[in-house]
Structure 1
Amino acid sequence: MKKTLLATAIAGAAALAATSASAATVYNQDGTKLDIYGNVQLAYGYTDSLGSDASGSLDDNGSTFGAKGEHKINDDIVGYFKAEWEYDADEAKGSGNGLNDGDQAYVGAKGSFGDARIGSWDPLMDDWIQDPITNNEYFDLSDSGTALTAADDDSTLREGDKLQYMSPVMGGMQFAVGTNFNGEGSYSDDDEDGVRSGGDSGNISGSDQASFFAGAKYTVGGFSLAAVYDNLDQYEGNSVDGDDVGDQYGLTAQYTVDALRVAVKAERFAGEEDDTDVDFYGIGARYGYGMGDVYGAYQYVDAEDQSSYATNYGDDSFNEFNLGVTYNISSAMYTYVEYAQYDRAGDAGDGAAVGIYYGF
């Protein structure tokens, strides 16, 4: 899911007010509340492609419509839900692509015991490890999820069918544990080849696969340190011979002072086969200048020779960076410009973008 500045701004009060449009409350009575919200995101991006000329296009950039609600179960526990759908704002008329592309949906309960939920949402590795470095509008740096996609193209498995418990913050410490489960009835095997119908990689039909992921975060003042592990076992059986795909590890430290946030990251996709690991070492910063944010990040990627990452991107080491700036037009609307360079063969993926966001 492409996240926006609305979720990640750390600027001062003026900038925060300019990016925090409120959801519309449609019901709030007797301990039950229901909100609707959404956004329209459009961007013109110009990117290079390997083996072809650079091209530009005006596209939707993750426009969504959603509903969320909660109700009081007792004096300590609140039940809640969230459901969000994407649509193509650039081709809404006659495109047939209405609110039929689910983004995230989950139900849970929270209280002094912590927070427990089930459904579909972004991986913990994204939220705690990757997003503090780059969680931009159009261009992000690569990460262990990119390496996972290179090894197994069915990356949607990471977001759905999840169960997670997150503890309350205790003395600055917080932890989370969960699983991503794909049951034997999730896929069909029409081809009788051990690969799910349609020829996509994923689980072998007839086998239950459940991952285990866990993370811990410590926060004191403006400093926080987070570590996350995911064994990616929902991908076990992604090929006919049933090999595992690998594991993910991540460690991120960040420090926030006034309107400045600086974060550093070490992340690994540990491939199951020899010489298939990919390491990511990054640093990023974001500064709120009053009417928006200016941000940038640099990352060194070290991919072993036999990794799908090195094979797909034409080298075994990369120096990636991106830059961006936003400008708040109003409390619900902002525009931005971004540039990214990925150091890949043929300058693949390099580009620039300008876009606009309106949220309600």
Structure 2
Amino acid sequence: MQAVRLHGPRDLRVNEVELPSLGDREAMVKVAFSAICGSDKRWYTVGTHVMPLTLGHEFSGIVEEVKDSRHQDLVGHRVGVMPLMPCGHCTYCLNGLPNLCTGYSYLGSRRDGGFAQYAAVPVQNLVPLPDSIDLADAAIMVDPVSVALHALRQGGYRTGMRVTVIGGGAVGLSVFLWLHFAFNENAVTVVDRVPEKVAFAKSLGGDAFTDSDPLLKELDSQMELVVLATPAPEAISTALELVARRGTIVMPGIPYKTISVEAMTWEKLLRKEARLIGSWNYAWTDYPENECQTTLRYLAAGTLKPTMIVTHRFTFDQAKEAFNTAFNNNKAEVVMFAASEVTG
């Protein structure tokens, strides 16, 4: 089969490899769609935990085989995939917080992922899809859409809050999709330093500004919630300008390098008594909320359409062009691989 493999930092190759072998509780998923995440760009730059390795953790497909006869009913099902594989026995797993697992594995960074024609996936990581959900939407249902929902919950979002999203990439725009289309918020602001990303956010219906736009000053200290979906130092400064006194800044954006913050910038956090909260992955235990299943329900109802933020599609043999687009095209949002014989 064809697979997009990382052999070392910036050494990306399209290889012909054997079909993955299945473990006892695993399924063979024929990949339909997979998307390049910001994390994939990071792994491409610095290397994964094990190499060579098939990248990709945002994907969907159809179950073709299962190892365990108890799960034969999954064969033929259309599925999304949760890429985080928690250990199941650390303190956090046992307390219903698998996203904080201390002994996890992960598809696409620690073991082979979904940039391939087939992927071996633990049965517990499969999300069976109703017929109303398109496979392309399902590929980005978990990352970044469920990640965005978790960030809003971590930030204490409530209906009617004044919210600004800083970062017009996949996670930031997914936050916007939740707020604007699912929660019917009309006054959502998106900020990015790239004019093309600002224009894209506007095309979705958002109020959007570059971080240098003088009009942004009118929003200083007014935002009850700021979602920091980019780790750029200038974005942190903007967040601290915009957040209201005793407001909240929630951070789902993963940094690629060391972040330095000016003393006067940090002092704004103190003077405003603002809260700074991290956000990692999403929750899929039933209490207090299975965010992946919540996302599934909104997609099934047609309230959310994640492919609204897909801007480019490629096949696996175009992997280098796809990554080049993701890195260098300012108009690129979600860049997706599509299996040529699958339409949705």
Normalised by the shorter chain, which TM-score bucket? under 0.3
Higher strand share: 1
Higher helix share: 2
TM-score, normalised on structure 2?
0.28
Quick check: which has more Rg, 1 or 2? 1
